[in-house]
Amino acid sequence: MEYPREFSTEAEAKVEGARIRAEKQFDGLKNGLDLMGHGSPSDVEGLLRKYILAVLAAFAHEACELGRQGTWKVTRIDAEVDEFLRRITLRAYSERGYDTNGRRLSEAISHISGGIREDLRKQFRQSLEWSRYQDELLEITEVQAHPVSVAIQQKRPVGAPAPRVQPQPDGEVATAATAGAKTIGERLDDARLNADISHEEQAARIGISRSAYFEVKAGRGGRKSRRSTEKYLKGLATNK
């Protein structure tokens, strides 16, 4: 597949890896339906949706990473994810859109609009994968609405990449390179994904507001919010 020119080799490889794994899983599950004597068009279409969403999730995450870096605006991320969903859906239905008897499934792309069928689009947008993408996109809106201006303070050359920042318990800021650890935002994301919860639910568990939560994730926030977040993360580590 073709990728936006801003995607790094690593980002492309991650999405391609997700695609290959999803295709192998789809083929295996479809063969299982055939062996069991099942395999209605709706069964196969359900497997196709899982395949498409797995690849979409990988692409959407890499697109959001470009947003975190300031390379893409939120509107660009959303447009690229929407177009990728259309292309991966077209590919999936073109290559694998057949039931176990070899009959072609209903077309996924409208011949009138050129977009995904409305009923299929609705199913995609009701999925867990889409909800997680929206959570991540919401985080990017908060980061881009309140960018951290550290280039002048750190006297970096113009255009040089910004080091990741991590608030410390005493309120000082250390870079990820000097701290030798993940940023607080990355640690929160790891904890959220492990618990399979939304940003809003994680903020509630920490005991801070949604806006304070995103401030902390972006490397800012008040001392009280940062300390509450550190206490929450330490509690998770202790309970492992």
What is the crossing angle of helices 118-125 and 41-68, to 10°?
60
pLDDT digits (tens, 9 = 90+) for 138-159: 999 988 887 754 233 334 454 4
Q: Where are the alpha helices (DSSP H) in the chain?
A: 9-35, 41-68, 74-96, 118-125, 128-145, 151-154, 176-179, 184-195, 199-206, 210-217, 223-239
Per-residue pLDDT at 194 exceeds 50: yes
pLDDT digits (tens, 9 = 90+) for 152-181: 333 445 445 545 444 444 434 444 444 456
Q: Where are the domains of the chain?
A: 9-144, 160-239
Per-residue pLDDT at 195 exceeds 60: yes
More confident residue, 92 or 150: 92
Q: Give the Cβ contact number of residue 204 at 10 Å.
A: 14
Per-residue pLDDT at 57 exceeds 90: yes
Per-residue pLDDT at 116 exceeds 60: yes
Positive or negative torsion for Cα 216, 177, 77, 189:
negative
Percent of the chain with pLDDT over 90: 40
**What's the confidence (pLDDT) of residue 35?**
55
Per-residue pLDDT at 136 exceeds 90: yes
Quick one: pLDDT band at residue 203, thresholds 50, 70, 90? confident
* DSSP codes of every residue in 81-107: HHHHHHHHHHHHHHHH-B-TTSPBPPP
**What's the confidence (pLDDT) of residue 38?**
60
Place of tokens 């809106």: 141
More confident residue, 34 or 168: 34
Quick one: pLDDT band at residue 36, thresholds 50, 70, 90? low
Contacts of 136 (CB under 8 A, 6+ apart): 60, 61, 64
State the chain's mean pLDDT as an integer. 81
Quick one: pLDDT band at residue 59, thresholds 50, 70, 90? very high
Can you identify the CATH homologous superfamily of domain 160-239? lambda repressor-like DNA-binding domains (1.10.260.40)
Quick one: pLDDT band at residue 206, thresholds 50, 70, 90? very high
